[in-house]
Chain A
């Protein structure tokens, strides 16, 4: 502490001038720092906060009005003033009392206001953080027809409240972590106390505490970190990310852990299983038969999007005898005059589709229609008419493309696309045998993964209650 401060009996009294000086030496000339001289009761005081982390109305309404202690006409002592402020005037705001100036500054960065009293050793720190955030909208990636339409926003506070208002349960815990040594981003581990297995909690805590990242702007960064690093490569996502509070809450009921990152509308859930990526919250809001039907449909689409192009290549270039004769002649008639072999043809269209998709997601919204016209008309129709690709090829590629987007979780769908290319290559080299080997590899891969000790895919696990991991 600065020597300008008067020291007395081990406690240091803050002198306003020196506090100001120290603030300007630490914060420099940053424009959003407000250091305001105020009257605290009958004493001189100083109010410090960052204007970017709160809004002026809030400061005037809740902080400045109370500061003057207008109802106390007769002078009270400094101690009493501080006590009154703490217990009466700011009782509704989240507050704490600090002594160390460095800690006070850290708090100010997080959106707190500090009140110094001239010649008093303690500092009152109030939480005045009121940030403008996007209002609660409908989620953009997980749409439902029936069910709640709220989606998470970028503000962790909003997100936590979205979860809490669905869970009026004392057992719900939000455990706070700070990640990123440059950004100090708040990360909240959410779980139902007593429900989640301890070893999973411990592992997640260890991973969050042991992180060495410098910054964290989206939950995707820690998704990679939480992704269980077992033996060898893992191609399937083991972290679920959702934008819907109801989906996350149903995961919490299932004894999982949700992780909220401030600044990201995507809340993560660990451990995630293979089946989670095929669940949409809507399934549970419908008649059970329809829900099951659409879930089965999703699995089917997943398999379709994996193998259809590879199957087409294998069958047309190696195993023509497997195709029913009528269909074979029809395919052969269409492929007549096409200059490329089936594998090149498929790869050509698949890559074209990938480019279209990438362009479709990245481009400004105004030019959207252009892309769809070019994509659908020019590349689809014209390519067939020009004799570059066959009709059946366009059908195969579009079928796979649509099936690829059926998966309710986008990250899962995007991984499947990569496997598809692998399958295509395998099938072009050794036909159906390669396709089956590729499927076998994926099956082995799926069954090998364990996400925090929980098997990623275990068909019969629901009948096994005594599993110890």
Chain B
């Protein structure tokens, strides 16, 4: 691919779909009453990521995550970190695939063997990554239209089937603001907001530090808004208690749509639409991963895409034994062992090292 400036709106769409895709279906993963507040509160600490990552990008000219790591930590440790990040991206991609498979299995295909579902899916993911980041971004803008249309339709249809009961969101803050803030810090800022770290890889296409800050801020704002609205809809339809314990709350809400016994079972359609979002998210991660490998091992474009995609598919099956284990792993272990170090600590240290080793003005 020749380096060319990417369409700003497409890139924004890519970030937004990236943020929405899995979190919209799994809700804000929190067992607190006012989960819609969690999304709003999480937005403010999440802006910290923009500050840190923006500072990283602006510290050196024209350098993405991988180049920065190498610059800050030296050749050997830097390369090790690049590998760690590539693996991390691949792992998140495989988790997302697993999420999607769980969703499809529970709503549509109960009998189809999992490997078939996964393999077909990852092949398309790999195919999507072959076109480069611009093609992925254009795909994202298509998906964004579909997702937003879906949300609007759900809202309107729920209203018409008189399932939206505003009183369901009461009692408001029954246990005080403490658990809400805690949940925001425990989960929401790492997933989905923290995962934006992957976009550091595409520094060129995103328009450097300035473009990154602007785009990401807009994307965070929109994502926060959309997620909160969707959370509110879920609470209004399901009620606080049911929303708390439902694994796919949005689907459960959509299941309540019933208009004249004709429009029913919207949940299946939503599950299918969510697949597009997951496809995009996996494609972004996979592309970032292949960029990492190409950075270390060199090689032709498109060499790693299919093997890595199949690897991600295999991981997604092997990584946990069942759905419950998958969820616990995602909500606790991954956050403390992977998200926090790789999304915050390593970038912070890298930034520090960059500042110490290369003072402003003597960038070499």
Contact = CB atoms under 8 A, between A and B. Distances in A.
A460 B272 contact: no
Contacts, number: 105
A461 B7 contact: yes
A453 to B, nearest CB: 9
A459 B141 contact: yes
A440 interface: yes
Contacts of B276: 436, 440, 443
Interface stretch (A16-24, A253-261, A411-419, A426-434): A426-434
Interface in A432-466: 432-434, 436-437, 440-441, 443-444, 446-448, 455, 457-461, 463-464, 466
Contacts of A460: 7, 9-10, 13, 141
A443 B145 CA distance: 13
Contacts of A430: 109, 112, 116-117, 120
A191 B160 CA distance: 54
Contacts of B83: none
Contact of B275 (A319, A322, A326, A436): A436
A464 B112 CA distance: 44
Contact of B130 (A231, A319, A432): A231
B130 A448 contact: yes
Contacts of B145: 459
B8 interface: yes
A324 interface: yes
A16 B200 CA distance: 80
Interface-central residue, A231, A437, A458, A460, by most chain B CB under 10 Å? A460
A458 B130 contact: no
A446 B142 CA distance: 10
Interface residues of B, number: 40
Interface in A363-418: none
B14 to A, nearest CB: 11
Given A459-B10, A460-B7, 7 more contacts: A231-B131, A441-B124, A448-B131, A448-B135, A457-B142, A464-B8, A468-B4
Closest 10 CB pairs of A and B: A460-B9, A448-B131, A447-B138, A447-B139, A448-B135, A444-B128, A459-B141, A464-B7, A436-B272, A322-B265
21 contacts: A231-B130, A321-B265, A430-B112, A430-B117, A430-B120, A431-B109, A432-B108, A433-B120, A434-B120, A436-B275, A440-B275, A441-B124, A444-B128, A444-B139, A448-B135, A448-B139, A457-B142, A459-B9, A460-B9, A463-B8, A468-B5
Interface of B: 4-5, 7-10, 13, 104, 108-109, 112, 116-117, 120-121, 124, 127-128, 130-131, 134-136, 138-139, 141-143, 145, 261-265, 268, 272, 275-276, 279, 302
